[in-house]
Every structure is written in structure tokens, then in C-alpha cells.
Amino acid sequence: MTGGAVSWRFLKVWRRNLWTYRRIWKVSFLTPLLEPLFFVAAFGLGLSGFIGEVPYGGRHFDYPTFIAPGLVATAMMNNAFFETTYASFVRMYYQKTFDGMLATPLSLEEIMIGEIAWAATKSVVAACLMSGVLAVLGLVKPWSIVAIVPTAFLGGVAFGAVGLWITGLTPHIEMFNLPVFLLVTPMFLFSGTFFPVSTLPAWAGAAARAFPLYHLVELCRRMQMGAGEYPAWGSAAYLVVFAALFTVFAVRAMKRRLIR
Amino acid sequence: MDAVVHVENLVKRFRDVTAVDGMSFAVGRGEFFGLLGPNGAGKSTTIRMLYGFSPPSAGSVRVFGLDIRTHWRTIKARIGVCHQENTLDPDLTVEENLWVFAGYFGLPLAVAKDRASELLDFFALSHKRRSKVADLSGGMARRLILARALINRPELLILDEPTTGLDPQSRHLLWDKLESLRADGITVLLTTHYMEEAARLCDRLVIMDHGKILVEGAPEALIARHAGAHVLEIGGPSRELRDYVRTEGLSHDDLGDRLILYVPEGSPLTETLRTRFCMERCTWRRSTLEDVFLRLTGRELRE
């Protein structure tokens, strides 16, 4: 009864999060600006001497150029996932924000979609800022600062939705360590972020291609360095289906948890 | 009666517990209606079904003549809910809390700002406009929750234990504000543990326990019917007193070391009781709603 309807009202939930974000944006902007500098300094300057050129999508790239889009994709994942896990959990459990919203004409679906849309917005902002820094360093194509927006939003919805689904099932905030350790960290390391998946043994490559982050990294590489090893439409389709599926799962889990 | 709320045979079952077990009542326009009962009686569960938060297991809830199952969005747009828990946004300032909440009702920001400053004036919070919610005292936070519940100019206000945990000053201020809202014709449905609050505010109330309504009526009528006009509490009652009470068929509760007598208005026994039995360890007072409540729901602890 508090559900079954989705309207533009989810934007009000999105706006609420924007409103609170305005207080802390100066701190939040620092991470995407500084993080790529750290990684490029550590890996680019430190490692590239040992690595040389990386063969990828039929061409060769220097190491910093190769990892730059991977870092952007990882930032999309982290911004969305941490928003709908830790931050959404605080709103749901400690601040009772959703209980307050459910006493207004908002439906549970709208609240959850608003949360996911907000998480995706954070991914977009982080991806654009990061791409800006990387473009100044000459590591990504400058126009990709803008072109990355739809990809960042799609990636944000995908990881925001899966995060919110986990939040709907998590009994305690400490428990988020588990999905971070079991999903986020392995994905960060094995999704082709730091090496081309095509160089892996067949079985390991197949496993990596099952990860959503792999496909997000692929889309970022297409846009930011103009090369890829997996069909772009395939990666986009994978992420669209993944995002839709987990949005449904998230709403369902939250309904079971909140509506008593 | 022009019923704002109409509840019929309402049932709510959780896994193996029946929290609400066949409640029926109606609240008329402009009425202050109270839902009283011990902890776990089913008050909050009932209220949650009324504002469309939790779906009933059986029975019907109609608000403004509309079915909550099908018209929840329209109904929720016309009611204000004041939760028992603090659901304010700690990340926002006092006035931002009102603005953002107004957005959930689809009010434009300009309208929201006008109404917010009106409500902050009304609840004596204007000086805290730009404060963080975390810096508010308990009483101020409660007032802000109430102000927020009024941002959509609701026709029905639902209050779940509005004064729990407040100091007497804050409580009285809140009562004053609620009474001036009554003058504007708002309908109020409230739950409370404070019998004084219920007696003062409610035109009509029900006392419920184990998910069922025990009695319904105006506070004074309920007091007269179930606790007489006066209460006589006698410590260490003598056998003589017990015999007297039994032979006269006086309404009473025997707590062992204390005997509580409920004496109706103008009872011919008043004089005898006063002179013969009310010596030491004896109090003689007006009956209250609390007497009714304890008589009906028992004196043993619930939790």
C-alpha cells in the first residue's frame, strides 16, 4: 500500500540528499581530485619503468594511460556503493529518514530510486572531476570529461542498486565490511583495472568478465583512450540489465525490511 | 457523523502475534481522539495502519471516506504524522528540515519558506531557525517535529506519544499549541501514556489492551462510570473495613496492603467512610482517568 507507484517525486528524495551534501561538498571533492594523483604517482612513476608498454585492444599503451580509465571506473563504483551502503544505512537505521518520508505522499519505491539516483549523481561528479585531473596530466582524452557522464550514471545506478540491496539485508552497519572485502576489493583488483584481462588464463578471464566493474572499466577505456577488448554494446547491455535487476531487488529487500 | 477516520474490524498479525485484534472506531471532524493503553497494547501498530505505513491483515481503514489501500497517496497528502521517534534530519538546519519536508508534499520552495517561518513563529522556534537539529533541546525538537507535521496544512494530525520524555514546561506549551490548533478545526488522533494529557486534550478516547478496545467514551464519562467521583486509598485496611466494603457492595480494588475504594458522586456512604475508616494512612481525592486505566488494564508490569 505504500508502494506500487513510481513518479517524478523520487527527485525530492534526490534533492534532500543534495541539500545535505552541500554542507560537506568541499571535503567530498578532495578525494576524486587527489586520488588519481596518488595512484598515477605510485603506479605511473613507480611501476611503469618495470612494466613498459601494455598491449590492449590491439594497440600498445604506456602504463599510466592504461590504468587511468580503470581508476575512473573504480571511483564510480566506490562513490555509488559507499553511498547506498554506509550512508543509506545511517539514514535508514539511525536517522529514521525513511520512516519520516513514508508518512508523506512518497512511496517506498520513490525513496529507494531517489537514493540510487543520488548515488549515481555522486559517481558522475567524481568521474568528471577525476577525468579533469587526468586530462590535465594528458592521460585521458579531454572531451571524455563530458562524454563520461552517461557511463558514470549507468555505473552509479548499477553499484548504487547493489549497495542498497545489501543495505536492505544487513542487520548491522559493521557487517558492510563483508561485502567490501568479498566483492568490492576483489573487483577492484581483478576487473582489468591494473592489467588487461585478456592476458589472464581463460578461466580467470571468464571470471573477471562476470564482474560489473570489468564492463564499466571497458566502457571507460573506450571513451577515454579509444580502445577496448570487449564489445561496447555488450558491456552496456550487461550494466543496464544488472542495474535494473538490482534496483528491483533493492526495493524488494527494503520493503520487507521497512514495511511491517 | 462526518467521520474523518473510520476503522472497522481492523486486524494486524505479525508472524505469531496478533497485535491488533478486531478494532473498530470512528473519529469525527474536529474531534480530538485518544488511543490509550499500556506498552504493547497495539497503539502504535494501529496508528501505523491509519497513515498507510503498514498494511492491515484484515479489516478496513477509511480516511476522509477513502480506502487507505487504494488512495494512500491522496490520504497521506492530507494528514500530518508526528512520530514517537525523532525522525528529523540531523544534517539539516531547523528551517531546512521544514523546506525539505514540504518538498515531499510537492509544495514549491517559496510556499514552503512562508509556511516554515509561520510555523516556527507559532512554535516559538524562530530564534533557532538556522541552528542544527542536534543543538535543539528535547522540547524544541518535539515542537519542530510537530511543526513539520503541519507543513502541508493537514486536516488530520496523528500524534504518537507527542510529549513522552518532555519536561512539564515543554509539555504544557505543547498542550497549549494543540489546543489552539483545535480552534482552527483540525482533527487529532493521539496516543499517550499520560492520563492527564488524555483527560485534558481528548474529547473522546478508547482504552485498549491486547489489541482490543476495552472502553470508549468521553474522559469524564469514563471516570464516572469506572472510578466513581472520589477515590479513597486506605493503607493497612482492617478486617472491619473489608467486611463493611463487602456488605455495602462498594466498588473497590484490594491490593493486600492497600484498599482502594471508588465512591460515586453523592454516595450516602461518604460520611461513614470518611469518619469511621479514613484515619491515618488514608487519602481522599477526586477520581482520575489513571484510576480507570489501572482498573481496566491491571496493575502488573508489562515489560
Task: Give one DSSP letter per residue of A65-96, joined into a string.
Answer: HHHHHHHHHHHHHHHHHHIIIIIHHIIIIIS-
Q: Rounded to the nearest 5°, which phi and psi values hold at B11?
A: -130, 135
Q: Residue A1: pLDDT above 80?
A: no
- Read off the pLDDT of residues B18-64 as tens digits, 9 standing for 90 and up: 999 999 999 999 999 999 999 889 999 999 999 989 999 999 999 99
Distance from CA of A174 to the nearest CA of B (A): 21
Which run of H or E residues covers position A251?
Answer: helix A232-258
Cα gap B5→A157, rounded to integer Å? 40
Q: Residue B303: pLDDT above 80?
A: no
Average pLDDT, chain B: 92
Alpha carbon B139 to its chain's center: 18
Calculate mean pLDDT across residues B95-109.
Answer: 96
Cα gap A40→A139, rounded to integer Å? 10
Query: B191: which residues sit within 8 A by CB, 6+ positions away?
Result: B34, B35, B36, B37, B43, B44, B47, B159, B160, B161
- Read off the pLDDT of residues B261-290 as tens digits, 9 standing for 90 and up: 998 888 888 888 888 888 778 888 899 999
pTM of the model as a whole: 0.91
Does residue B64 belong to the interface with chain A, where contact is any CB pair within 8 Å? no
Sort out which chain B residues have CB atoms less than 8 A from A99's CB and list them.
53, 83, 85, 87
Cell of B101: 519536508
Sort out which chain A residues have CB atoms less than 8 A from B53's CB and list them.
2, 99, 102-103, 259
Q: Rounded to the nearest 5°, which phi and psi values hold at A229?
A: -120, -5
Cα gap B96→B101, rounded to integer Å? 8
Sort out which chain B residues have CB atoms less than 8 A from A12's CB and list them.
103-104, 106
Give bridge partners of residue B205 from the DSSP assignment: B34, B217
Q: Residue A2: pLDDT above 50?
A: no
Calculate mean pLDDT across residues A25-40.
Answer: 79
Put simply, the answer to whether B52 touches A2 (Cβ < 8 Å) is yes
Confidence grade of residue A4 (pLDDT, cut at 50, 70, 90): low
Q: Determine the residue type at A49.
A: G
Cell of B1: 457523523
Calculate mean pLDDT across residues A82-105.
Answer: 95
Instruction: Give me the sign of the Cα torsion angle B131, B134, B139, B142.
Output: positive
Put simply, the answer to whether A12 touches B101 (Cβ < 8 Å) is no
Does residue B83 belong to the interface with chain A, where contact is any CB pair within 8 Å? yes
Of A117, A168, A91, A153, give the one whose Cα is nearest residue A9: A117
Tell me B85's DSSP state. S
Cell of A189: 583488483
Sort out which chain B residues have CB atoms less than 8 A from A9's CB and list them.
104, 106
- Counting residues of chain B whose pLDDT is more than 70, the rounded percentage is 99
Cell of A166: 545489501
CA distances to A99, A103, B61, B68 from B51, rounded to whole Å, are 12, 7, 9, 8
Calculate mean pLDDT across residues A20-39.
Answer: 80
- Read off the pLDDT of residues B124-163 as tens digits, 9 standing for 90 and up: 999 999 999 989 999 999 999 999 999 999 999 999 999 9
- Read off the pLDDT of residues B68-89 as tens digits, 9 standing for 90 and up: 999 999 999 999 999 988 999 9
Q: Residue A96: pLDDT above 90?
A: yes
Calculate mean pLDDT across residues A80-109.
Answer: 95
- pLDDT score for B235: 87
Q: Residue B239: pLDDT above 90?
A: no
Confidence grade of residue B165 (pLDDT, cut at 50, 70, 90): confident
Cell of B27: 473519529
Q: Residue A31: pLDDT above 90?
A: no
Length of chain A: 260
Q: Rounded to the nearest 5°, which phi and psi values hold at A172?
A: -140, 150
Put simply, the answer to whether A96 touches B51 (Cβ < 8 Å) is no
Q: Residue A152: pLDDT above 60?
A: yes
Put simply, the answer to whether A16 touches B103 (Cβ < 8 Å) is yes
CA distances to A86, B32, B40, B182 from B44, rounded to whole Å, are 29, 17, 8, 23
- Counting residues of chain B whose pLDDT is more than 90, the rounded percentage is 70
Task: Return the residue of B nearest to A13 by Cα.
Answer: B104
Cα gap B132→B93, rounded to integer Å? 4
- Read off the pLDDT of residues A136-149 as tens digits, 9 standing for 90 and up: 999 999 999 999 99
Cα gap A219→A148, rounded to integer Å? 9
* CB distance A104 to B101 below 8 Å: yes
Cell of A129: 572531476
Cα gap A114→A108, rounded to integer Å? 10
Give bridge partners of residue B7 from the DSSP assignment: B25, B61
